[in-house]
Amino acid sequence: MVKQTFLIGFMLFALFFGAGNLIYPPTLGLEAGTSFWPAMIGFILTGVGLPILAIVAIALIRDQTSELGSKVHPFFGLLFTSVIYLAIGPFFGIPRAANVAFEMGVLPSVQACANRTLILVLFTVVFFGLVYWFSLNPSKLVDRIGQWLTPALLIAVAALCIGSFFVLQSPSSTPSEKYHTAPFFSGFVEGYLTMDAIAALAFGIIVVTAFKDNGIQSKKALVGSTLKAGMISGAALTLVYGSLGWIGAKMAAQGNFDNGGQILSSATQLVFGNFGLLLLGIIVALACFTTSIGLTVACAQYFTKTTRFSYKQIAAMVSIVSFLIANLGLNQIIAISVPVLVAIYPIAIVLVLLTFLNKWFEGSVLVYRGAILLTAVVSVYQGLTEFGLEMNAFQPWIEQLPLFSVGLGWLLPAVIGASIGGFIDHR
């Protein structure tokens, strides 16, 4: 069972480690400069810690993600969980992964080609064909990813990090304004950008199912095994995040960069020349591919339970819809997805935290409803304003909330809502 736990842990690492996980740590390293370590520790707490908590939360409720929301109301549980799966699956998450794989793994090699649209179509046909094939038999997902893809991904990342260690010797720069006074807190908030806490609600089912297939059935054993697999995945993520962030910190002297992708592209060229671009393409392609497989499997497993369609039919539909949306282009996908993710992410975090605190308030429905209601007021407001809608009537009130400027304006309302619900329940 030890071997299987490690394999499932490696699988979980590969599922989490998508394109965004490659891009954000180098950006943090570049901007944090000499404040790199406190910023990275904060980033790891939310970029690694929260997803592990979410995975364990799924084990606690025995693999039904919708049960998290059902504590508020059964209909809310079904609706919110469906929105999460659609958002991180065929609507946004999977198409974005395919586009990032294309932009960073394929496009640099075909810049001279005029018909970029046709190349994207051909790439996505192959990409989603392979994603569909890998996802057809989820019982073999642990072996296929844990034994094949994860080692290849780790070897590629290790080659880049080790090479950079010997070549990049420039001193770190002065921290940017964001990381100058409170680097830990800024890194803490930056960790949300990985969006892995939401993805964990989907991946949790895959992990729990994998352990059940290996004969583990009791709740205590499931939680313990899931936690161990999560810790293995978390250790690998922490090592990779730290290494990629260090590369970003050492690249400050090499010029200005618009995003983490440019930082990594320049670093790989400095370390390995033109071969570096090929190496980066392999890393990005594997990261995006494994994440897309995991999200397809998770979506198919969930909607098979909530609809009358078979697993293969759902997997096919997810692949086809992802293919169609992927061909809209990366910029359009990001523009639409960010407001939705901003709206649902805080709600997901609060539901996960309440799952762990459940016994302290005896599972009171009013506590769940109060916390989620006030959290949603703030998060939906942020999502709508991110979408470009002006809400002048609410702006003066909501934007005065503590920590609103750093994206945590929902925190105090969540606590107040839970407290009011608990007070009413015990009145």
In this predicted structure, what is the pLDDT of residue 65?
67
- Rounded to whole angstroms, how far apart are CA atoms 214 and 239? 28
Task: Identify which has the larger pLDDT, 85 or 63.
Answer: 85
Q: Which listed CATH number (3.40.50.880, 3.40.50.300, 1.10.4160.10, 3.30.930.10) goes with 2-327?
A: 1.10.4160.10
Q: How far apart are the first and last CA of the chain?
A: 49
How far apart are the C-alpha atoms of 36 and 38, rounded to whole Å? 6
Q: Report the alpha-carbon distance of residue 280 to residue 362 in Å, rounded.
A: 50
pLDDT one-digit tens code per residue, 330-371: 778 877 877 888 888 889 889 989 988 988 888 899 999 999
Q: Averaging pLDDT over each range in 32-41, 346-355, 369-378, which range is the top one?
A: 369-378
Distance CA 285, CA 84 (A): 24
Of residues 296, 74, 124, the one with CA closest to residue 199: 296
Instruction: Give the model's pLDDT for residue 192.
Output: 74
In the prediction, which pLDDT does 113 show?
67
Give pLDDT, residue 144: 61
- Residue 63, pLDDT > 60, answer no
pTM here is 0.80
> What integer pLDDT is reported at residue 142 of this predicted model?
54
Q: Give the model's confidence band at 309: pLDDT under 50 very low, under 70 low, under 90 confident, else very high.
A: very high
Please, what is the average pLDDT of the chain? 84
Name residue, tokens 């609600």: 201
| Tokens at 167, concatenated | 């070549």
Residue 262, number of CB atoms within 10 A of its CB: 17
Could you give the percent of the chain with pLDDT greater than 90?
A: 26
- What are the residue ranges spanned by the domains of the chain? 2-327, 331-427
What is the arithmetic mean of pLDDT over 292-303? 88
| pLDDT on residue 149 | 65
pLDDT in tens, 98-157: 988 887 778 777 766 667 788 889 999 999 999 999 888 766 665 566 566 667 767 777
Upper half-sphere CA count for residue 154 (Cβ side, 13 Å): 18
pLDDT in the model for residue 366: 95
In this predicted structure, the answer to whether residue 7 has a pLDDT above a threshold of 90 is: no
> Residue 113 CB: number of other CB atoms within 10 A?
10
Three-class SS state of 409 = coil
